[in-house]
Amino acid sequence: MSSVDEKLFNLLVSSVKDYAIFMVDINGYILSWNQGAENIKGYKADEVIGRHLSIFYQPNDNERLQLRHNLNQALKNGTYKCEGWRVRKDGTAFWASVVFTTIYNEAGLLTGFAKVTRDITLQKEQEIKSAQLNAELEKRVKENTSKIIANEVRFRHLIENSYDGYTLFDENLKVVYRSRSSERINGWTYTDREAEDIWNILHPDDIAMMRMQLPQLLSSYGKPFIAVCRVKHKEGHYIWLECVFTNMLNDEHIRGVICNFRDITSQKEVEAEREKITSDLVQRNQDLEQFAYMISHNLRAPVANILGLTQILDYTGTQEEDTRPALQALTQSVKHLDQVIIDMNNILQVGSIANEKYEPVYLSEVVSSILESIPHMVEKNQVALHHDLDALEDIFTIKSYIYSIFQNLIVNSIKYRKENLNPVIHINSQIAGAYVNLCFKDNGKGIDMGKYGAQIFGPYKRFDQSVEGKGLGLFMVKMQTERLGGKISVESEIGKGARFKITLPLNKRTVS
């Protein structure tokens, strides 16, 4: 090529803007750079000439390792074409179409390679998108074809091997089709004439119910209709079935009433046994309550006689001096036994809620009534009681229980006060839907929850022997709260008082 031709060629190459055309030596180092290369790759000539081709690849790109291979292929064949991701100066990637061509001098010696690069990212993205769409379309066609082919077989297998039984009736509930799963449940086959009409195998006690509800089924197209009934098994006994009827008479592909059903005989037997056990337990509890009440009632008369005799002996002074302590101990024991009997009667009364009357109760009036009943205790200890119950409307509940709950909690707060500190009691309320949340908070001694938390509501549990009481107060509070359908919890720390939280129904009788 003459020098004039070479200049013209170089001028032509340098003016190309859509293709990166440049020379590299036999080792891949850049020797020239045109305008198209700058446009595509972002480097100016003085930034790139003398650098290696590897700058156009990702550091971890496998094709970077193929550079030598690409040059060798071009050397072997004269030219080599490839495609792949390349990197611009700013770090962005593009899909490149690359052609390597060998260059020889006039003496036939290899002087390097010409490299032509074209940005075909948009074309590649379109090809990938098109390939994905074609693959997805092909996949859907294949899946739909398979579904169509398998649909009938699958449906038949589903029906025949289902846990449920399937029967198709006409508008008179005569059998049109019966699945094999249906035969496994009730024993009847499709050819059994006796069972071709549902009315022939229904339990006599269930026929009236089914005939009453049949018009609703026939007038409600496509709406599931649930029925539980007894059906005669082919062997002669009756089984319980839970049936779902669906009127598909207007569907041109079905034209019938579909019934899918399952055998719930075992479930019914379990329910019947559970009801019997529950009934027996209720009766036994009632018998035990009656027995305990009778015992406690009958014990009070002899206990009163014993107590009276000991008092007579004590008054007459006929006993020896050395027997007096024993007589006094006997008197105290009999009094204690009498109190235990009274406590048992009180507990039994809580258990017998049927005799209690539900009525509107104003909680603020209950608090006022309690304070009026214990003026000596309130005045002596200079009790400060604050509450927000005036704004609370009445709740429908058992007044005697509410009075007992409030009285026990208020009296406990006074009894378990700190020394040299006047008791302060706060009662707060909050409506939560159909319930009222009550909080009783005091500044008293507090309770060691780690030590007594698990037994705080137990009977005869006392946590401070210096405080007078029997240990039944909180036990009664819990019993009465739960019998009213509520719940109770407590938070406390030694020296930081106690906080009792009670949730009660507002106007609905709820018995747990």
CATH code reported for the domain at 356-505: 3.30.565.10
pLDDT of residue 205: 94
E-strand stretches of 55-158: 79-87, 93-104, 110-119
Q: Domain extents for the chain?
A: 3-119, 162-263, 270-351, 356-505
Evaluate if residue 356 carries a pLDDT over 80. Answer: no
Angle between helices 363-373 and 399-415 (to 10 degrees): 50
Evaluate if residue 163 carries a pLDDT over 90. Answer: no
As a whole number of angstroms, the distance between CA 35 and CA 22 comes to 10
Which of the four pLDDT bands, split at 50, 70 and 90, describes residue 1? very low
Encode burial over 462-489: b for 16+ CB neighbours within 10 A, e otherwise.
ebeeeeeeeebbbbbbbbbbebbbbebe
Topology, domain 3-119: Beta-Lactamase (3.30.450)
pLDDT of residue 460: 64
Beta bridge partners of 291: none
- Domain over 270-351 is classified CATH 1.10.287.130: yes
Residue 26's alpha-carbon distances to 57, 58, 77, in angstroms, are 19, 22, 15
Q: Rounded mean pLDDT of 198-214?
A: 91
Q: Rounded mean pLDDT of 98-124?
A: 89
**Reported pTM:** 0.41
Evaluate if residue 150 carries a pLDDT over 80. Answer: no
Residue 443's alpha-carbon distances to 366, 378, 439, 457, 495, in angstroms, are 22, 15, 13, 20, 8
Q: Rounded mean pLDDT of 195-211?
A: 90
Domains 270-351 and 356-505 share a fold: no
Structure-model confidence comparison of residues 107 and 207, the more confident one: 207
CB 389 within 8 A of CB 367: yes
Residue 457's alpha-carbon distances to 352, 399, 403, 500, in angstroms, are 20, 22, 18, 12
Parallel/antiparallel/unpaired status of strands 435-442 and 424-432: antiparallel
Average pLDDT along the chain: 80
Evaluate if residue 152 carries a pLDDT over 50. Answer: yes
**Structure confidence by residue, pLDDT tens digits, 284-303:** 666 555 555 555 555 555 66
**Structure confidence by residue, pLDDT tens digits, 414-465:** 888 888 889 999 999 999 989 999 999 999 988 888 888 777 887 766 666 6
Topology, domain 162-263: Beta-Lactamase (3.30.450)
pLDDT of residue 457: 83
Q: Rounded mean pLDDT of 309-327?
A: 59
**Structure confidence by residue, pLDDT tens digits, 468-497:** 656 678 888 998 899 888 999 999 988 899
Parallel/antiparallel/unpaired status of strands 435-442 and 498-505: antiparallel
The phi, psi pair for 374, rounded to 5°, reads -130, 50
- Only one residue has tokens 């009274």, namely 342
As a whole number of angstroms, the distance between CA 341 and CA 330 comes to 17
**Which residues, at least 6 apart from 81, have a Cβ–Cβ distance to it below 8 Å?**
97, 98, 99, 100
